[in-house]
Amino acid sequence: MPHDDAPLPSVWARPRAPRRPPALSREQIVTEAVRLLDSEGVDALSMRRLGARLDTAATSLYRHVANKEELIELAVDEVYGEMPTPGPGTPEGWRAAAAAGAREMRAVILRHPWIVSVLGEVGLAYLGPNMMRYSEGMLGVFTAAGFGLEDADRALGTLSAYVVGTATGEAAWLVKLARSGRTEAEWAAGLWPAAEAAARPYPLLSAFYTAQRGKVAPATRDADFDFGVARVLDGLEAWAGRGGG
């Protein structure tokens, strides 16, 4: 049986080692890990591979991180640091601030598509300082709108679930597209005849595909995302207006 005093398996749950003057810092390790993840994906990340990129032995990395799982926790928090702190004090109001926070999260996921494959496996990632900063800001957005703290947390969870779910599919598509060596327009041109033929027996789908022909895919994805965020916020606003619960 596990002991009650056993340490939690997370980089955020154990004290950081005292600072010494090493040749390599944890910040350098994490920065290079993110570069490796961006260029080659999660499967390519190993302590040995990262050490080679940093021109050092893998064993020297273990002075800063206990294992690959901790390294990924740190990498996830590093990319969350790219998001500005959300704030409710915007002239447009809380909905605009919440939507901006959602767009920033989506942008981070699309810049670092590897993140979607590890979000469910990074233990206590929500304890990372950048994740905490973002969460604090978004909770401030919802509490400023009149949500109680628990309801603000639920609202943030609901909005985040929409963002992650939508961006996961987008990220997978963009990775596949990049590996194909084709542009999005080239892919669509090659696929469209088959898609229209498959939809022909289904009148609603057929009409939809016909209407979508020639549209610019990135702009369509942006519009679809913003539509979904707005509907999530509509629901949260209506729920809060009825007093919640």
Q: How far is the C-alpha of 166 from the C-alpha of 162, rounded, in Å? A: 6
CATH of 11-80 given 3.40.50.11540, 3.40.50.720, 1.10.10.60, 3.40.190.290: 1.10.10.60
- Extract the tokens encoding 130: 């950048």
What pLDDT score does 227 carry?
97
**pTM for this predicted structure:** 0.82
Domain boundaries, the chain: 11-80, 94-241
- Extract the tokens encoding 15: 């004290």
Are 124 and 73 a contacting pair, CB within 8 Å?
yes
CATH of 94-241 given 3.30.1280.10, 1.10.3720.10, 1.10.357.10, 3.30.70.270: 1.10.357.10
Average pLDDT per block of 10 residues along the chain, 245 residues long: 66 70 82 94 92 90 89 93 81 87 95 85 73 93 93 95 92 83 82 87 91 80 95 94 66
Cα dihedral 141, 145, 149, 153, rounded to 10, equals -50
Are 109 and 164 a contacting pair, CB within 8 Å?
yes
Q: How far is the C-alpha of 58 from the C-alpha of 52, rounded, in Å? A: 8
What pLDDT score does 121 carry?
64
